[in-house]
Amino acid sequence: MSFPKLLNRLFLGPRVTEKQESFLKTDEEFETVGAELKSIVINLYGGRSLRIRAVDGGSTNAEEIELTALNNAYYDIDRFGLSFVASPRHADMVWVTGPVTRNLERAVRTTYEAAPEPCIVVAIGDGACTGGIWKDSYAVVGALDKVIPVHIKIPGDPPTPTQILRGVLNALKQSSSK
C-alpha cells in the first residue's frame, strides 16, 4: 500500500494489540509462595539451593512443560533457591511426573535409589498421584507409590506453577517439622 495510507493505518487505525496491563501484572499469589519458600530453603539448607532431579516416568509431557515453564523468565524459580540438577547423586528432591510405565519402572527406581538420603519424593500430576486415566492399563505399573515411597502428591492435569510451588512448600514444612 502507499506510504500515506500506511501512516494512516498505523496511527489512526483500530487497536489490534493487548493492553500492557492485561498481561504484565505480576502473579501476587505466586510471589508470596515463592518468598516463603525462599526463607524455608535458606533455613533448611544453610544458604545453599534445594537441588531437584526431575524424572519423567512416562507422562503426556503436560507436566513437563509446566516444569520447564517454572524455569523461564516469568516464573524463574532460581531466585527462590531451587535448581535442577542432572545427576540424582546431587539431588535433595526428586520430582516424578506421569504414571510409571513398565519400560521406565527400573529407571525411576534406580534414580530414587541413587539419590542420597534424605530425599524428598514429589509426585506431580494426576498420573503420578493416582495413575490417572491409565490406571489399569497393561503398559503401566500404576501410581508412583507402587514403585517408590512418595512424600507429597500434587494433583492436577497439569498442576499450575503456583500449585507446584505450594506443594513443594508443604513438603519442606513437613520435613522440617519432623
Partner 1 sequence: MNFSFFVLLSLAGTLLAALVSCISAKGQGHRAVMTLLALSTGLGAIASAVFLLSGQSQLAISQSVWFFSTPFALSTLSALFFFLLNTVACLASVYAIKYVEQYAEIYNVRVLDGLMAIFVLGMQGVLLSSAPFGFLVFWEVMSISSFFLVMADKQAASVRAALFYLIMTHLGAGAILAGFLILSGSSIFEPFTRLAVLAQSLPPQTLFGVFLLFLFGFGSKAGLVPFHVWLPEAHPQAPSHISALMSGVMLKMALYGFLVMTFSVLPIRSSTEALIVIALGLLSAVYGVIYAVIERDVKRVLAFSSIENMGIIFTMIGVAMLVKSQGMDTFAHVAIGAALLFAIAHAFFKSGLFMGAGVMVHAAHSRSLEVMGGFSKRMPVFSGSMLILALAAAALPPFSAFMAEWTFIQNLVANLSQMSPFIQGVLVLVLVTMALVGGLALFAMIKLFGIGFLAEPRSEHAAHAKAPDALIAVPIFALAALTIFVGACAPWILSIIGFADLTSFETWHTNLVVAEATLNPLVLFDVLIALFLVVFVARRLLSNKKHERPYHTWDCGQPITSGMEYTATAFSSPIRFFFRMITRTKKNVIATPVLASNPWIASRIFSLDLRQIWYDVLYVPIQHACLWTSTQVRKLQNGVIQFYIALIFIALVVTLTIAL
State the residues that interact with partner 1 by CB under 8 A.
87-89, 104, 106-108, 110-111, 113-114, 116-117
CA distance 52 to 148: 17
| Minimal distance, residue 163 CB to partner 1, in Å | 27
* Residue closer to partner 1, measured from CB, 111 or 120: 111
Q: Which C-beta is closer to partner 1: that of 77 or that of 128?
A: 128
Q: Which is nearer to partner 1, 103 or 176 (CB)?
A: 103
Which is closer to partner 1, CB of 69 or CB of 114? 114
Sign, CA dihedral 106-111-112-117, equals: positive
Shortest Cβ distance from residue 31 to partner 1 (Å)? 36
CB of 176 to partner 1, least distance (A): 20
Residues 146-162 as b or e (16 or more Cβ within 10 Å = b): ebbebbbbbbbebbebb
What would the grid cell of residue 111 be?
Answer: 534414580
CB of 107 to partner 1, least distance (A): 3
Minimum CB distance to partner 1, residue 113 (Å): 6
* Cα–Cα distance for residue pair 40/28, rounded to 1 Å: 19
Angle at 128 between CA 111 and CA 142, to 5 degrees: 90
Kindly tell me which of 109 and 173 has the beta carbon lying closer to partner 1.
109
CA-wise closest residue to 93 among 48, 58, 34: 48
